[in-house]
Amino acid sequence: MRILVTGGAGFIGSHIVDALHAHGHDPVVFDAFLPSAHSGAARAPDDAPDDVRDPAAVERALRGVDAVCHQAAMVGLAPDVADAPDYVSNNDLGTAVLLAAMARSGVRSLVLAGSMVVYGEGRFTCADHGDVRPRPRRAADLDAGRFDPPCPHCGAPLAPGLVGEDAPADPRNVYAATKLAQEHLAAAWARAVGGRAVSLRYHNVYGPGMPRDTPYAGVASFFRSALEAGRAPTVFEDGRQRRDFVHVRDVARANAVALAAVGDREAGALAVFNTGSGTPHTVGEMAAALAEAYGGPAPVTTGEYRLGDVRHITASSARIGAELGWRAGVGFAEGVAEFAHAPLRGGVSPRPPAG
């Protein structure tokens, strides 16, 4: 298949392009080269920015294409709410322009880069009230070091668990809201044109080629950037917040698998799949493992926080295994050992990175 990969020169997108080549496909790279992800990164002489918000550029790129793998987006928790227009423009307007061009061009297969951020705080269980949805964490509680959300009914401690794809969406920051909007737009497009769409809800993706020194990257990038600069990784809160760190090559392979299967999905519908390793680790564990593998200073836990962050978010990836036959193959220890010495790509940092 000839596959248009928006964001195909980025961290995840470039690995997807490699995976598609390995699976015998013909990927077409389309990328805006946003400075937040590409500053200082090497480019081929003929690389030119392609903005997914430009209808003419998108329509040209869609010629002869069988499917689209949509990765182009601003990612990460915005340093400031003033970034909201850029997130909405790049993520939601860009997706709308792409889908409108696909409708005109007759391309009916889409795999979308979704995100676990749409779940908000994920799944929690109270001993007395069962599964509950915690309220957004309050600054006063975080200032006092009370990082775990209590039961909204009785205030008791909650046990975090794995969230499934059928859980209610509960986006709690601007980026999360735009990722959910992308899925809604894809679902509306599929219904309107009889298209087939899959959203892979990525967990915390890490691996070679992550952008360095940028607030728009994941926490693993913050830690690795600090170590490369000779600094101790700084861990926010108490370091016990749970995440599912999944290697970028596994995510790239998930896209290749989804693209091969998307034509067999139900027409007129969007299917969503959690895409994670299946083995949760804390942020503190990632920082410590990376520092040890790199041979750098031990992490420092600061107690600081970002108000838009969630405490625990780990999801079950059983559905993608059952329906698409995909499972993560890179173990945590193996992936971290490689990532500790893998090259990073250039980025920008308006303020010092923190974990």
pLDDT (tens digit, 9 = 90+) per residue, 45-77?
455 678 999 999 999 999 999 999 999 999 877
DSSP per-residue codes, 299-319: PEE-----TT--S--EE--HH
Average of per-residue pLDDT across 244-262: 97
The single residue listed with the structure tokens 């607030």 is 215
Task: Give the residue with greater pLDDT, 39 vs 177.
Answer: 177
What pLDDT score does 37 carry? Answer: 59
The single residue listed with the structure tokens 């830690």 is 223
Which residues on neighbouring strands pair with residue 30, listed in sequence order?
6
Rounded to whole angstroms, the Cα distance separating 21 from 5 reads: 12
Q: Smallest Cα–Cα separation from 276: which of 134, 114, 155, 156?
A: 114
User: Domains of the chain: which residue ranges?
Assistant: 2-122+163-347
- Band of the pLDDT at 230, cuts 50, 70, 90? very high
Do the Cβ atoms of 99 and 185 come closer than 8 Å? Answer: yes
Q: What sign has the CA pseudo-torsion 11, 230, 340, 224?
A: negative
Which residues on neighbouring strands pair with residue 277, listed in sequence order?
none
Rounded to whole angstroms, the Cα distance separating 34 from 74 reads: 8
Give tens-digit pLDDT for 296-320.
999 999 999 988 889 999 989 999 9
Rounded to whole angstroms, the Cα distance separating 233 from 71 reads: 28
At the topology level, CATH places domain 2-122+163-347 in Rossmann fold (3.40.50)
Residue 38: is its pLDDT beyond 70? no
Strand pairing class (281-282; 242-243) = antiparallel
Average of per-residue pLDDT across 321-328: 97
Tokens matching residue 79 = 């340093």
What pLDDT score does 288 carry? Answer: 98
Quote the pTM value: 0.92
Of the chain, the percentage scoring pLDDT greater than 70 comes to 92
Q: What sign has the CA pseudo-torsion 175, 179, 184, 185?
A: positive
Residue 262: is its pLDDT beyond 60? yes
Residue 250: phi and psi, rounded to 5, are: -65, -40
What pLDDT score does 341 carry? Answer: 95
Average of per-residue pLDDT across 186-214: 95
The single residue listed with the structure tokens 């690795």 is 224
Q: Report which residue type is found at 213.
A: D
For the annotated catalytic residues, the residue numbers are 175
Residue 348: is its pLDDT beyond 50? no
Rounded to whole angstroms, the Cα distance separating 105 from 128 reads: 54
- Band of the pLDDT at 355, cuts 50, 70, 90? very low
Rounded to whole angstroms, the Cα distance separating 67 from 283 reads: 36
Average of per-residue pLDDT across 239-258: 97
- Band of the pLDDT at 139, cuts 50, 70, 90? very high
Measuring CA to CA, how many Å separate 8 from each of 29, 203, 244? Answer: 5, 19, 24
33, with CB counted inside 10 A (0-12, 13-18, 19+), is: middle
* Residue partners of 272: CB distance under 8 A and separation at least 6: 114, 165, 183, 198, 199, 201
Specify which of 121-125, 266-270, 304-308 reaches the highest per-range mean pLDDT. 266-270
Rounded to whole angstroms, the Cα distance separating 256 from 261 reads: 9
What pLDDT score does 307 carry? Answer: 85
The single residue listed with the structure tokens 């799944």 is 123
